[in-house]
Amino acid sequence: MADRVHPHDSPSPTVSQIDSSDAAVAPKPSLPPDGKPVPPPGTYVIKIPKDQIYRVPPPENARRFAKYTDKKSKRSYGGGGRRRCSFCCCFSWFIGVLFIIALLIGIAAGVLYLVFKPKSPHYSIDHIGIKAMNLTTAVISPEFNITVKADNPNDRIGIRYETDSSAEIFFKGVKLCDGALPAFYQPPKNITVFMTPLKGNGIKLKSEDEKALVDAQTKRQVPLNVKLVAPVKIKVGSVESWKITVKIDCDVTVDQLTVQSKILSKKCNYKLDLWLFKI
C-alpha cells in the first residue's frame, strides 16, 4: 500500500513579498488625452468660455462700480478744492493786510496834515548878473550870478537843503553855464535870499544860435531858462524826512547880457519828487 504523502504546509508569504507582488501587479496611472496632469483630489478646476470673461463690471455690478468711482472722484476734487480754497484765503489775507497798512498810513498822513497844515514853499529869481559874454566869437565862456529867493511859509516845518544840487541856464536849449546851490537850513516862517555863481567853459554856439543871441541883445529882450534841482529834507521838531527833490524851472527875460542887467519878466514853476510820487 502506497504510503500517503502528506504535503508540507507551505510557508505563508511575508509582508515584503506581498508588497512586491502588489507593486508589480498595480497598474500605473494613465495621463489624460490632452497630456495635462490630473489635479489631485480636493482641487476643482472651472473652465469659463472666453466670451463670458468681462473686462468691465457685469451689468448687475455696474451700479456699484459707478457709485464707487463717483465717490473717488469727489474725494480727489474735494482735495483740489481745499487747496484752491487755501490759496484764495492766503491771497485774501495778504490783500487785507496791505489794505490795513495803507489805511493806517493814510490816517497818519491825514492827522499830520491837520496838525501841521503844510504849505508849499515859493521860489523866484530876483537878479541875474552876466559877465564875460563875448558875442564876437563862436566859443564863449560866460559867467552868471543868480539871486534866488526861497520862501518857507510853514509855521512848524523847516526845510534843510542838502548837497548834490545843480543850477543851469539855457538859451533856446543851449546850455550856457552850470553850478550848484548852497546847502543850508531854512527855519519855519522864513525867507532866504542867496546868490550862486554859475560858469560856462568853451561853449560852442551854432551860427543860428549866435545870430539869435545877438538879435535878442539888440532888441534888449534876452529869454533865458533857469533850471534848479535841490535835494531837501522836511524837518518837524527833531524828526527829518527822507530826501525830497525840488525841481524849479524859471523862464526869465533880461534886457541885456551884462552885470547891470534887469529882469523884464519871470515865471517859475516847481515840482517835488516825493520818493516814488511826484507833485
152 half-sphere exposure, CB direction, 13 A CA radius: 20
Q: Which three three-digit cell numbers place residue 17? A: 513579498
Give the model's pLDDT for residue 263.
Answer: 95
Using DSSP's 3-state secondary structure scheme, residue 174 falls into strand
Q: Which three three-digit cell numbers place residue 136? A: 564876437
Cα–Cα distance measured from residue 118 to residue 101, given in angstroms and rounded to the nearest whole number: 23
Write the CA distances from 182 to 50, 143, 194, 230, 252, integer angstroms.
103, 17, 8, 9, 21
Give the model's pLDDT for residue 62.
Answer: 65
Fold (CATH) for 122-277? Immunoglobulin-like (2.60.40)
In angstroms, how far is CA 236 from the centroid of its own chain?
Answer: 33
Give the model's pLDDT for residue 224.
Answer: 96
Residue-wise pLDDT for 158-184, tens only, equals 999 999 999 999 999 999 999 999 999
Residue-wise pLDDT for 56-86, tens only, equals 556 666 676 676 666 555 555 455 555 555 6
Could you tell me the pTM of the whole model? 0.59
Cα–Cα distance measured from residue 260 to residue 112, given in angstroms and rounded to the nearest whole number: 46
Give the model's pLDDT for residue 236.
Answer: 86
From first to last of its 279 residues, the chain has per-residue pLDDT tens of: 444 444 444 454 444 444 444 444 445 555 555 555 665 666 666 666 666 655 555 666 667 667 666 655 555 545 555 555 566 777 778 788 888 888 887 777 666 655 556 788 899 999 999 997 888 887 899 999 999 999 999 988 999 999 999 999 999 999 999 999 999 999 999 999 999 999 999 998 888 988 999 999 999 999 999 999 999 998 988 888 889 899 999 999 999 999 999 999 999 998 887 654 444
Kindly provide the residue ranges of all beta strands, DSSP E only, lying in the chain, ordered along the sequence: 122-131, 139-140, 143-152, 158-161, 166-171, 174-179, 184-186, 190-199, 203-204, 222-236, 239-240, 244-254, 263-274, 277-278
Domain ranges in the chain?
Answer: 122-277
CB 261 within 8 A of CB 267: no
Give the model's pLDDT for residue 70.
Answer: 63
Q: Number of helices (H) and strands (E), helices first, in the chain?
A: 3, 14
Give the model's pLDDT for residue 162.
Answer: 94
Give the model's pLDDT for residue 68.
Answer: 66
At position 68, the amino acid (one-letter code) is Y
In angstroms, how far is CA 235 from the centroid of its own chain?
Answer: 32
For the four alpha carbons of 95, 99, 100 and 105, in that order, the dihedral sign comes to positive
Cα–Cα distance measured from residue 157 to residue 155, given in angstroms and rounded to the nearest whole number: 6
Cα–Cα distance measured from residue 268 to residue 126, given in angstroms and rounded to the nearest whole number: 11
Cα–Cα distance measured from residue 230 to residue 279, given in angstroms and rounded to the nearest whole number: 15
Backbone φ and ψ for 37, nearest 5 degrees, come out as -65, 150
